Structures are given as C-alpha cells and as structure tokens.
Structure 1
Amino acid sequence: MAQSTQLREFTDDAFSQDVLQSDQAVLVDFWAPWCGPCRMVGPVIEEIADEFAGRAVVGKVNVDDNREIATQFQIQAIPSVLVFRGGEVVERIVGAQPKERYQQALEAAL
C-alpha cells in the first residue's frame, strides 16, 4: 500500500503550531521504530489519515527523535494515541487498539 499523503510527521519544533494551534481536531500517534505494536498500528493510522482528510489532521511523533513532546504529554508507553481539540487532549488511548477505537475517538472530537 502506498504511503499516505495525508499523514503528517510532528516534531518538537513545530508541535505547538501544527497540533496545539490547529483549528481542526488532531490525532497524534506516539511511536518508535523498535516498537512492535507501533508497527502494527502504523498502517491503521495511515488509513485514518486518508479517511479524515479535510476534516481532521492525523500524524505521528517518533518519541526517540522528539523527547520534549513525549515528556510534555507524559507518554510512558507506546503506542499512545492522543486526540487534541483546541490545543487540549480530549482522548488518550494507550496500547494497540482496533481501528474503530481510533476512528471513534477522532469522530467524537470533530
């Protein structure tokens, strides 16, 4: 399957602008390349990025490369998926979950 064109990469430097100041709901997948469950969730997050294109922002944060954000949002286990609305965390999902769980969380934030 082709890489999603909708999926964003969030970094420490731009997180505030890209996520906290977004006028759309934002789903953020906190992950790391060495994490097996993260690799299972990754393709699901890509599908959701395409499905919610234009309605919400969907992206990932590599916790190895962006420790500030991971610390700021107290990410202690990955994968962790946070849904933001208006700069606030409105949903926190820890561990690999079915696609429907992520879709429902994002839908609720729209």
Structure 2
Amino acid sequence: DKVEFKKIDVDNNNELAAKFTVHAIPTLVIEKDGAVFKRYTGVTRANVLESDLNAALK
C-alpha cells in the first residue's frame, strides 16, 4: 500500500487549513479513501501513529 506525507505551511495556506480544521500546530491528519480517518493535535506518541497508520492501510 501507499503512504504519502505532506507538510503544509498553514500561514500561507489558509484555505487548506480551514478544510482540515487546523486550529493548532502541530496537526496531523490521516486520510483514507478521501475522508479523514484520524486527526491528532499536539504531540502524539509514535506507537499510536504507527498503529493508526497500519489500521488506515488495511
């Protein structure tokens, strides 16, 4: 399966920040099939990210 990571400067991409409801930095959004699968704001543990990425790939 394919995983794609993108880093967005929300100060220069207000429309994209609004689309993904980014109110704080850092925000991480995992999408699956064009919809938000998981959203994290602030520090997130690596094991949580790994588990959720694996779930998104299934």
Give the RMSD, CA atoms, in angstroms: 1.4
- Structure 1, residues 19-44: CA drift from partner, whole Å, max 9, x if none? xxxxxxxxxxxxxxxxxxxxxxxxxx
The sequence identity of aligned pairs, in percent, is 32
Structure 1 residue 89: Cα displacement: 0.2
Indicate the residue corresponding to 2:4 in structure 1: 57
Structure 2 counterparts to residues 21-100 of structure 1, below 5 A: 55-100=2-47
Structure number with larger C-alpha Rg: 1
Displaced runs of 4 or more, over 3 A: none
The amino acid that maps onto 2:35 is E
- What are the ranges of 5 or more consecutive residues in structure 1 without an aligned counterpart? 1-53
TM-score, length-scaled by structure 2: 0.83
The alignment covers a number of residue pairs equal to: 57
Structure 2 distance, partners of 1:95, 1:60, is: 15
Task: Compare the two structures and name the one with the higher helix fraction.
Answer: 1
